[in-house]
Structure 1
Amino acid sequence: MSEAAEVWITGIGLATSLGEGLDANWDALTARRINVDEKGFAPYVVHPFALVNLDAQIPKKGDQRQMEAWQRIGTYAAGLALDSAGVKGNKEILGRMDMIVAAGGGERDLAVDSNILNLAALGNAAPGFLNERLMNDLRPTLFLAQLSNLLAGNIAIVHGVTGSSRTFMGEEAAGVDAARIALARISAGQSDIALIGGSQNGERKDLLVLYEFGGFNLKDKFAPVWARQNNAGFALGSAGAFLVIESKAHAQARGARPYARLTNVVADLALRKHPGDVTTTLEKLWSKLGKIDGQGAIITGATGAEPVTSEERAFLGKHRGFAVRATGTVFGHTMETQFPLGIGLAALSISRGALFSPNDPTGLEVEMPTPPSQIVVVGAGHWRGEGMALVEAIK
């Protein structure tokens, strides 16, 4: 049996509420800056997307018009990742680059929904009314909600990524599996290079309503993730995070410089029937990652929703030698995108020789004075799904 290929992270594309690109996001993290809106969707708190020049990554206006916001965010971030990896416009590489996207159900057309509900409430709903309105009012790319694989399709059209394509659904767990399966394929020699990631438009009223049904939304006033015990919930964030990962041999052959090594990704699904189930599952995943130094760091996508955040905090309490950072405080909760975002920030931190600043009044997050050589990325879904990734410096 041949030895598993080493896998490098060679491209990172971030477009978030803090800005576009690695420098803008890093500078904001260092300055402890947070972009949050408590009024626009009151009583719900959201992290709105930063303004970008879409033409820079999606040059055709027609392409921009036919996408909804979540697709524009993701396609933009994917372009940044390809630029970062030095493969933008390289038809030979893009033509065989695999793509795994983690995506939600897409955006609804709220104007159509509202019109249907208003007419129905007025008693103007004749037989066949609903079917007629859906057929006449929705665009061809919509059927109740946009198809989740439209993001991958737009990335293929705009950027020319035309190798194999997979789209995973399943909220936070989809982001974990996108990374896990891409890593497994490259490690096994089934693929040389892949684009992975996701995007989220957190400024969607339909999503806010959906998550309110489960009591998951953060309301009224923003607070960091670790300070929400008395006001539990997540603040949805708008972000796109994509990564280019490839085998060491492939990267070296084209002269690519890596940010870090993606060593392992593991996943599980706690039943969550009893208190402590998530804590136990996270410990099991930790034991499967491989050899971990005692002075590393942890970047977690902790949501702020309960009881999962408290159970994750109990897990972190067993690993006090690790400096912790919660992406949900700064970026909001970006669902499918949260895990790729964490991996991207881990690789960026390793490449810059420093963990970004803590942003937490409770004392759980502390400064890390030494450069991190290992960072564990943790993802525990607000409702289901757990995962971890080990990102390491290349020696």
Structure 2
Amino acid sequence: MTDVWITGLGALSALGAGADTLADALQAGRSGVTAHPGSPAHGLRPFAAAQVTVPLAPGMPPAQRNLYDRHSLMALEAAAEAWAQAGLPATAPQPERAAVAWGTGLGGSASLEASYQQMFTAQPPRVHPYTVVRVMANSAGSHLAMRHQLRAAQLAVSNACASSAQAIGEALWLLRNGRADVALVGGSEAMLNTGSALGWQAMGVMAPLDADQPEHTCRPFDERRRGLVLGEGAAALVLETAEHARARGAVPLARLAGYGHSVDAVHLSRPDAAGQVRAMQAALRDAGLSPAEIGYVNAHGTATEVGDAVEAESVAAAFGARAVPVSATKALHGHLIGAGGALELVATVQALRRQCLPPSAHVHDSPLAAQLDLITDGARPATLRAAMSNSFAFGGSNVSLVVTAA
């Protein structure tokens, strides 16, 4: 089976720009979650969110910028970092052997909301002429393909919270099958707009704002957990066949060893432990590893009452009760929905490279501690050879990715 290496990482989140910035913040337990005022006129209560605050493409001419939704601009930033770290020239040397696989949940939701605002408030009613190309789910991937001349294949995955994790897994199979030698993969999301936040709030899964400590609003696996905190951002990885990477003298950061995907086929929003177990077991089989060889699990951990309990059940079933260290980094960077899997895989690779497991922040007391070995006492040094990152989505899609030391 073709060996696939990770040769570049890129990240952009509320914790800042850069994959090292992400890892530093996670190790330190520093939160990017802040309070947002909401919109009384629209019935949106004040809420906690993890917002990107760094400037996006500040030097881009306005005429060119008109083509981009916010999530696509974030994709360019994260991808540029990963591409540069991989040591590749600005455009792929062999475009027909280079691919892109990108995930997003709602794509250009901000541009879609802006179009409705213009339609109902502008006189005469009008929408931006680039609305369609900003909103479409493959827009970020298309921009990346044009920037780096990636012509072998373009996979655009929109599968709720599993989107970018699935895009990464499908790219792994694409490289193994000989369709390409290198792939730029990841995801981006930017839904901190009134309509999207109102939808999550109305569903009852968004945590009420902790007015005293907004940064502690998201508490995965804690007894006080009351829901998720929306985040935004992007993350990117460069995948290469080992043969291609060796030929150009590239240094592997880690090996993408396994991909498992399952579907619950049970409920649109209630997760199913059996389905999650199937994804984890499939990823282990694909990687050729036993459960005992996994030294860390980056949990999906959204901080919803049902979601965390089901995931604790599934991880215990797949690995054994308290058999593997677990943390949920969403407590610090928020839930990036379609981009979450990519950002958390970058965090997992960084834990593997640094031999340091990030803590599961804001856990005061966990009723799930009998099932999970939660990392709650600060970053934990480890001798880590293999790790798993889980992404479980509304709609019942489950994705598990396994990385091993280079």
* TM-score relative to the length of structure 2: 0.84
Check the 8 A contact 2:26/2:329 in 1, yes or no.
no
Are 1:188 and 2:187 an aligned pair? Answer: no
**1:118 offset after TM fit, Å?**
5.7
Percent of residue pairs bearing the same amino acid type? 21
Deviates more, 1:267-276 or 1:344-353: 267-276
Deviates more, 1:372-381 or 1:162-171: 162-171
CA distance in 2 between partners of 1:339 and 1:233 (Å): 18
1:5-84 equivalences under 5 Å are 5-41=2-38, 42-52=45-55, 54-55=57-58, 59-84=60-85
Indicate how the Cα distance of structure 1 residues 225 and 231 shifts in structure 2: closer, same or farther if over 3 A, else same.
closer
Aligned counterpart, 2:93? 92
Q: Secondary structure at the match of 2:389?
A: strand
Are 1:173 and 2:174 an aligned pair? Answer: no
Matching residue's letter, 1:197: G
Q: CA offsets, 1:155-188, max 9 Å, x none?
A: 2333443442121112123223211211111112
Aligned counterpart, 1:365? 375
**1:197 offset after TM fit, Å?**
0.9
Matching residue's letter, 2:156: T
Indicate how the Cα distance of structure 1 residues 73 and 319 shifts in structure 2: closer, same or farther if over 3 A, else same.
farther
Q: CA offsets, 1:343-375, max 9 Å, x none?
A: 212222212222234424236324533231110
Q: CA RMSD in A?
A: 2.7
Deviates more, 1:283-292 or 1:185-194: 283-292
CA distance in 1 between partners of 2:157 and 2:270 (Å): 28
**1:228 offset after TM fit, Å?**
5.9
Aligned counterpart, 1:278? 272
Are 1:381 and 2:393 an aligned pair? Answer: yes
Matching residue's letter, 1:15: L
CA distance in 1 between partners of 2:202 and 2:131 (Å): 24
Are 1:349 and 2:351 an aligned pair? Answer: yes
CA distance in 1 between partners of 2:294 and 2:405 (Å): 14
Check the 8 A contact 1:339/1:377 in 2, yes or no.
yes
Aligned counterpart, 2:136? 147
Aligned counterpart, 2:312? 313
Aligned length: 375
* Runs of at least 5 residues in structure 1 that lack an aligned partner in the other structure: 125-131
* Runs of at least 5 residues in structure 2 that lack an aligned partner in the other structure: 39-44, 211-215, 367-373
**1:66 offset after TM fit, Å?**
3.0
CA distance in 2 between partners of 1:258 and 1:311 (Å): 35
CA distance in 1 between partners of 2:296 and 2:92 (Å): 37
**1:384 offset after TM fit, Å?**
2.6
Are 1:335 and 2:337 an aligned pair? Answer: yes
**1:96 offset after TM fit, Å?**
3.4
Indicate how the Cα distance of structure 1 residues 227 and 176 shifts in structure 2: closer, same or farther if over 3 A, else same.
closer
